[in-house]
Amino acid sequence: MDEKKLIEKKIFNDTSSYADIMDLPYQPSKRHLPMNQRDRAFQFAPFGALEGFNDLIKNKTEMYSKKKYSDETQEQKINRQIKYLQAHTETVVDVNYFNEYSGYYEHVKGTFEKIDSEKGRVTFDETSIVIPNIREIKLVKAQ
């Protein structure tokens, strides 16, 4: 055994200072009743003391949703709408899309600016969106 392990063993396994009480039977307290398991668990649950903490966590997790993948017909519809918007750049639309950074669906209202085919992104009023993350495009106002 190396020196470090010998030192650890001596420090943490040395019970010689407790030799006089090691074999004595356990004597429960006469002043305090034994605590039940539930109360002991509450004593070691630090966030249980924060009122409303569990509700806050639950509400926060409800905001997040899993990304819903589009089926083929929905993808074709979105691609047709993007092609239409390329020809009608003044059209104001409301785009519902999955924001990868926030973890939930968001809306952006604006006009079509550009499409980057290589990156698979569409830009609406300086908001760049990955095309597969688009869930729906609604026409707000045509000019």
Per residue in 67-111, pLDDT (tens digit) is 778 888 999 999 999 899 888 888 899 999 998 888 888 899 988
User: Residue type for 64, please?
Assistant: Y
The answer on pLDDT for 8 being more than 70 is yes
Q: Which pLDDT value is given to residue 77?
A: 93
pTM given for the model: 0.54
Is position 58 within any domain?
A: no
Q: Is residue 101 part of a domain?
A: yes
The answer to whether residue 136 sits within a structural domain is yes
Q: How far apart are CA 142 and CA 91, in angstroms?
A: 5
How many Cβ atoms are within 10 Å of 7's Cβ, its own excluded?
10
Task: For residue 113, tell me if it sits in a domain.
Answer: yes
pLDDT at 95: 92
Give the closest residue to 106 by CA, choosing from 92, 127, 75, 123. 127
Output the CA–CA distances (angstroms, integers) from residue 129 to 40, 42, 55, 62, 125, in the order listed.
51, 46, 32, 23, 11
Q: How many structural domains does the chain have? A: 1
Contacts of 9 (CB under 8 A, 6+ apart): 1
Q: What integer pLDDT is reported at residue 64 of this predicted model?
A: 67
For the ranges 3-17, 22-36, 46-60, which has the lowest average pLDDT?
46-60
For 102, the domain range is 72-141
Does a structural domain hold residue 91? yes
Confirm whether 104 is domain-assigned: yes
d(Cα 135, Cα 97) in Å, to the nearest integer?
5
Pairing of strands 104-116, 92-99: antiparallel
pLDDT tens for residues 45-68? 765 556 777 788 777 776 666 777
106 within some domain: yes
Of residues 62 and 36, more confidently modeled:
36
CATH number at residue 123: 2.30.30
Q: How many CB atoms lie within 10 A of CB 132?
A: 14
- 104-135 pLDDT, tens digit each: 888 999 888 888 888 989 998 888 999 999 99
